[in-house]
Amino acid sequence: MKSIVFLGTNKTGSSYEGIKAAKRLGYETILFTNRTIFVENREHYHEIDDVHLLNMSDTDAILSAISDFIEEGKKVVCFISFLDEYVYLAALLTNTLCDIPLTTDPLQVMTDKILTRRYLAGKNYNPFFKVLSSTETIDDQIIELKDQFPLIIKSPQSNGSKDVLLVENVWECKKGVKQLHRKNSESPILVEEYLEGPQYLIEAVVFNSIITVAAIVEQEVTKGERFIITGYSVCPELYLEQLPGLKETVFSIIEDFQLRNGTCHLEMKLTNKGWKLIEINPRMAGGAMNRMIEEAFGYNLAEQTIRLFTGLEPELRKKHNKAIYTHYLIVGTVGKLLKVSGCDSAKEQTGVLEVYTKAECGQLVTPPRSMGQRYGYVLAAADSKDRARECALNGAKQIQFYVQPV
């Protein structure tokens, strides 16, 4: 049997959907991970055929495990990851060991936000940015930014809104820099222009230099301690042509990266200065994104990513068009979760397709400081964007998190 090796996965979402897709396509699924849960609770992850617990930051350990496979006679057709930290390595291994012509260099750049900004320096879609790298002169560098506020400061490896801060003045910027340095004192800090305007996520697939937009997703951003996306809308009435300049900008970005074979998703904002790139990631988006796209258009993007990594042309023909809205669930206070009620009632609401909660009783929950601190979602379908949103929100209203403050 032919095998696919996955470098890392989450318990749910797009990364695990990729494993399910590979299993459905008839491949043996092998997981390299540093998370013991996939070994301790094997019975919950029956789509995984073989788990290898490794130090995922040790490339030599990964290569040693691969050598063992080759000696055993396993036929590995590709290595793949849906997680930022392993995307480049997986593509490099597939390129080298499986002779699949994936583009690797752009993926390495995309995983580092500072490299990305520098690579795209001078492009109209690239907003103002500055890198704070010298701890000796950092206060002077911040003072030089006094006319640029408000600004965003972030870690170059941030994802899911982790370590991303809005600062309104010099004092807040210095405070934010100290906060980020407490996590990693040696890491440079990326400063970016704060952008206002509607925000969209674009899923793109590139095969033999032909770019296909797999989905355009309108995002609703909730501004609290962090910028957290709490709503995603995929709708049949939203096409590239209805957003003037978006197609040209997205295609320009991908072509500037010289991505010939691979996938990525971009977050774009329409500002009064035109389309600006918020960020680009060398993989499809996580969470409920795969499920949303499949419900909206009838194709499984994780499965099509598997096809691309095994050298086959992705099949992205729409089988139907439905409006889909996903509303993410968050809490407003820090505390111990006592119980969650209303999920069954939410499922019975008109248009609701799925209700998912991940928080467990006794767990400490908190207002979101990252995407990972969203505690579930309600996914709904309808014949229009507004109706799908209404259905998802009606479902979400039924759900109550009981939290004992601490």
Which pLDDT does position 347 carry in this prediction? 98
Helix (H) or strand (E) holding 16: helix 14-24
Any residues with CB less than 8 A from the CB of 20 and at least 6 apart, and which? Answer: 47, 302
Give pLDDT, residue 328: 96
Q: Which residues are CB-neighbours of 223 under 8 A, at least 6 positions away?
A: 166
CA torsion 364→371→214→6, rounded to 10°? -60
d(CA 285, CA 291): 11
At 161 the pLDDT is 61
Tell me the residue type at 187: S
pLDDT at 223 over 90: no
Question: Would you say residue 228 has pLDDT above 90?
Answer: no
- DSSP string covering 283-295: S---TTHHHHHHH
Q: What is the pTM of this model?
A: 0.93
pLDDT surpassing 70 at residue 174: yes
Rounded average pLDDT over 162-166: 83
CA 354 and chain centroid, separation: 20
Find the mean pLDDT for residues 122-137: 90
Average pLDDT, the chain: 93
Percentage above 70 pLDDT, the chain: 97
- What's residue 239's pLDDT? 64
Rounded to whole angstroms, how far apart are CA atoms 387 and 390? Answer: 5
Q: Above pLDDT 90, what percent of the chain?
A: 82
Evaluate if residue 172 carries a pLDDT over 70. Answer: yes
Maximum alpha-carbon separation in the chain: 63
| Mean pLDDT score, 74-101 | 95
Q: What are residue 311's phi and psi, to 5 degrees?
A: 90, 5
Q: Tell me the DSSP string of 51-71.
A: EEE--TT-HHHHHHHHHHHHH
Question: Per residue in 316-332, pLDDT tens?
Answer: 999 999 999 999 999 99
Tell me the backbone φ, ψ of residue 298, rounded to 5 degrees: 95, 0
Model confidence at 98, pLDDT cuts 50, 70, 90, reads very high
pLDDT tens digits along 266-309:
999 999 999 999 999 999 999 999 999 999 999 999 999 999 99
For residue 242, pLDDT beyond 80: no
